[in-house]
Structure 1
Amino acid sequence: MNEGSNIELLKEIAELLNTETEMESMMSEALNKLINGTVFTSGWIFFIDDQGKHEMVSYQNLPASLTERGCERMKEGGCWCVNRFIKGKLTKATNIIECLRIEKAIEEDPNATNDILYHATVPLQSGQESFGLLNMAAPHKTHYSHEELALLESVAFQIGSAIKRITLTKKEQELALIGERNRLARDLHDSVNQLLFSLTLTARGGSAMTNDQDIKDTFQTIQGMAQEALSEMRALIWQLKPHGLENGLVQAVRGYADMLGLKLDAEIQGLACLDSKYEEALWRVSQEALNNCKKHAGVQSVRYRLTRRPELVELIIEDCGYGFHYDPTNSLPSVGLQGMKERIKAVGGSLTIDSELGKGTVLSVKIPC
């Protein structure tokens, strides 16, 4: 490619990245444009976290040998580019002449990589913050020119800036959502919650002021219904604005259990701090699980086990209540349970349920992190 073509390509990619709001589509389209406008025929992007764990988050036109079994070869094991990135020694576009992933694929089948032998790699950065690697390859290429590497550095800089922008936008949206939840919680507390409390007192007073048993029974029924609605409203306010979550997940769950009148037998192992997206997911799942225990299990206490290992967070919530008939091969029996499973799946985890009539229920959550 000549210099004019490179400038035009960079302009197209910049326009794309400035308009995209979703991370996945942004990276996919950027790879597509890079492949269509250069000698490169395949591309993939690794995100690498602070613990050195890599994840392939986007790819285009990879050979079948690298995508088989759910891209297993790209997900597992180490390689030169990832290791150099983790050590902070990969700071610019570089020719990779020894790629373990490609070499292993060639060993199994010399014709399975579409004649891709090596690749070029460049870190994705924005300022002092690094996100991962952009890798590009082409058939029969064993060396990429200075101009080709310079182009990759420019594209990687653009992608890194877009990643930072989208990440900040997501955080702003999350903060706005939290603010709206807090406002709604305050409104419910100051209006509906107070009205229900007043209704409870009024019904109690009406019952005390009459000697007619039928009227007394009516007031007591109203009082009981108002008290039940008040409890539901307090639970809803807790869900919108959890008191104690600012002090950590476990503190919030303890407070919520107290509010429901449940005794929480909690055991915490190896937990320091959690990423906010994992904490939010576990908090919402804990709420739903405790609500189910209160309404359906017929118990006053719940076992709560939260464990943090180097690459895994595990949560187990167990009760010895009524249980229910559950067949894991069928869909989940309630919208609440299905919502829990989808929420955990959204952060890359899994949720399983073990329940039998008369033997209680065990809910298990595992999130790689």
Structure 2
Amino acid sequence: MSEENKDIGILKEIAELLNEGTDTKDVLSGVLKRLLQVTGLQTGWIFLMDEHGTHHLAADEFLPPALANDDHRRMCQGDCWCVNKYNNRKLNKATNIMECKRIEDAIEEKAGETCGLTHHATVPLGAGNERFGILNVGSPYKTHFQKNELALLEAIAYQIGTALKRIKLTQREQETALVAERNRLARDLHDSVNQLLFSLSLTARAGVEMTQIDEVKQTFGYIQDLAQEALGEMRALIWQLRPLGLENGVISALRSYAEMLGLSIDTDITGAASIPGTVEEALWRIGQEALANCKKHSQTTEAALSFHASKDKVVMKIKDGGIGFHYDENREIPSLGLKNMKSRTEALNGQFHLKSKTGSGTEIQIRIPF
């Protein structure tokens, strides 16, 4: 078989493997393992990057002990040349060849066996204008990759990038479908069960007023109390399925909520994007908590909301000019409400920032990628 036909066969096999997957971790692990098998290379790893340039190890195969020890600690922290080059946008194609700073540091620190690995090829992962991370591959004592090897790695990296984009879009579609189904169920519960319980409560109340027999009055009163309790639980369930007020978007909902609390809110909105339902709901819950805190603790009736949406992230800030409080960033967040905001943000791989100073108000900033 010619070299060209062999490469085509490899690309076909990798493409079939990528097309079968729907989970990012499984897809990357599977394709990296197969890539090493068909190319004869010995080791490899994939870093996925977020918009801030922070990397995380998404897949790895046959890392030497110096890199794999301590639950891959050396791979999960610190800078290296390939990551820096990617973040500086100087990595636009397969690079031949890059010495591994992590390996050099491990040798210097006598952190474990490196098994002869000193260099690796680095290839950016992307599709169109979207960038996802880097693919690194190497072998012991291999310090040079031929042009045809780099071309094959570039083609495979493009396939991986396309698959990552497909998975990302599929996940968004699934989230949209889930939100739509939850909305439908919430409407059905409101229009049927909720109305039946309301009618039962009115009927029981009428029964109490119509009878003169104490035992019957008690029975109707008990039925009315049960109906009211069931109504409360049903409304809570409907709220969980579809938070009320989001029909016109999270900003409109937060404005209405602030008005209900008696707060005057100044809004600054920039950008436009279709925000996933899970992100929108998290912003709504966080915004509710922040505005409620403003009402309870700030001793002011004014707040400011800024909201910026782009194609891959949303940033929301809520600030008040109230009394504030002393907050040390190096210490634990002081209240359960603020901890809940942070937890909701980080559950969506977002970042939560809190600023407050006695006499200078409080500001929270939430940045969530999607």
TM-score of the pair, normalised by structure 2: 0.71
Contact 2:250 2:283 in 1 (8 A): no
2:153 is the alignment partner of 1:134: no
Runs (4+) of structure 1 moved beyond 3 Å? 244-252, 272-287, 306-310, 313-316, 342-349, 366-369
Once residues 275 and 56 of structure 1 are traced to their aligned partners in structure 2, the CA distance between those partners, rounded to angstroms, is: 25
Match of 2:336 in 1: 317
Contact 1:81 1:96 in 2 (8 A): no
Match of 1:210 in 2: 211
Contact 1:44 1:134 in 2 (8 A): yes
C-alpha deviations, 1:75-115, integer Å up to 9, x for none?
A: 11111111121121111000243322111112233861111
Match of 1:58 in 2: 59
Once residues 218 and 173 of structure 2 are traced to their aligned partners in structure 1, the CA distance between those partners, rounded to angstroms, is: 52
Contact 1:347 1:367 in 2 (8 A): no
Match of 2:74 in 1: 73
Contact 1:302 1:317 in 2 (8 A): no
Q: Which moved more, 1:40-49 or 1:238-247?
A: 238-247
Contact 1:93 1:152 in 2 (8 A): yes
The 3 A distance-change label for structure 1 pair 281 and 198 is same
The 3 A distance-change label for structure 1 pair 318 and 162 is closer
Once residues 67 and 188 of structure 1 are traced to their aligned partners in structure 2, the CA distance between those partners, rounded to angstroms, is: 52
Match of 2:145 in 1: 144
Q: Aligned with 1:85: secondary structure?
A: helix
C-alpha deviations, 1:50-97, integer Å up to 9, x for none?
A: 111111111111111111112111111111111121121111000243
Match of 1:188 in 2: 189
The 3 A distance-change label for structure 1 pair 316 and 40 is farther
TM-score of the pair, normalised by structure 1: 0.71
Match of 1:83 in 2: 84
Q: Aligned with 2:336: secondary structure?
A: strand
C-alpha deviations, 1:222-251, integer Å up to 9, x for none?
A: 111100100100000010011245754996
Q: How does 1:255-294 map to 2 (within 5 A)?
A: none
Contact 2:44 2:60 in 1 (8 A): yes
Once residues 68 and 132 of structure 1 are traced to their aligned partners in structure 2, the CA distance between those partners, rounded to angstroms, is: 23
Q: How does 1:1-369 map to 2 (within 5 A)?
A: 2-109=3-110, 112-245=113-246, 247-248=249-250, 316-317=335-336
| CA positional deviation for 1:178 | 0.5
| CA positional deviation for 1:8 | 1.2
Once residues 97 and 52 of structure 1 are traced to their aligned partners in structure 2, the CA distance between those partners, rounded to angstroms, is: 19
| CA positional deviation for 1:279 | 6.2
The 3 A distance-change label for structure 1 pair 123 and 276 is farther
C-alpha deviations, 1:109-159, integer Å up to 9, x for none?
A: 386111110111111111111111011111101121111111110000000
The 3 A distance-change label for structure 1 pair 69 and 284 is farther
Once residues 248 and 65 of structure 1 are traced to their aligned partners in structure 2, the CA distance between those partners, rounded to angstroms, is: 48
Once residues 79 and 72 of structure 2 are traced to their aligned partners in structure 1, the CA distance between those partners, rounded to angstroms, is: 14
| CA positional deviation for 1:200 | 0.8
Report the residue type matching 1:55 in the other structure: H
Report the residue type matching 1:54 in the other structure: H
Match of 1:329 in 2: none
Contact 2:117 2:139 in 1 (8 A): yes
The 3 A distance-change label for structure 1 pair 211 and 228 is same
Percent identity over the alignment is 49
| CA positional deviation for 1:277 | 5.2
Match of 2:304 in 1: none
Once residues 212 and 219 of structure 2 are traced to their aligned partners in structure 1, the CA distance between those partners, rounded to angstroms, is: 12
The 3 A distance-change label for structure 1 pair 186 and 279 is closer
Contact 1:249 1:279 in 2 (8 A): no
The 3 A distance-change label for structure 1 pair 71 and 173 is same
| CA positional deviation for 1:315 | 9.6
| CA positional deviation for 1:276 | 6.4
Q: Aligned with 1:142: secondary structure?
A: coil
Q: Which runs of 5+ in 1 are unaligned?
A: 264-271, 290-300, 320-341, 350-365
Q: Which runs of 5+ in 2 are unaligned?
A: 262-269, 290-294, 298-315, 319-327, 351-365
- RMSD (Å), alpha carbons: 4.1
Contact 2:95 2:123 in 1 (8 A): yes
Once residues 78 and 117 of structure 1 are traced to their aligned partners in structure 2, the CA distance between those partners, rounded to angstroms, is: 17
The 3 A distance-change label for structure 1 pair 192 and 285 is farther
Aligned residue pairs total 307
Once residues 227 and 183 of structure 1 are traced to their aligned partners in structure 2, the CA distance between those partners, rounded to angstroms, is: 24
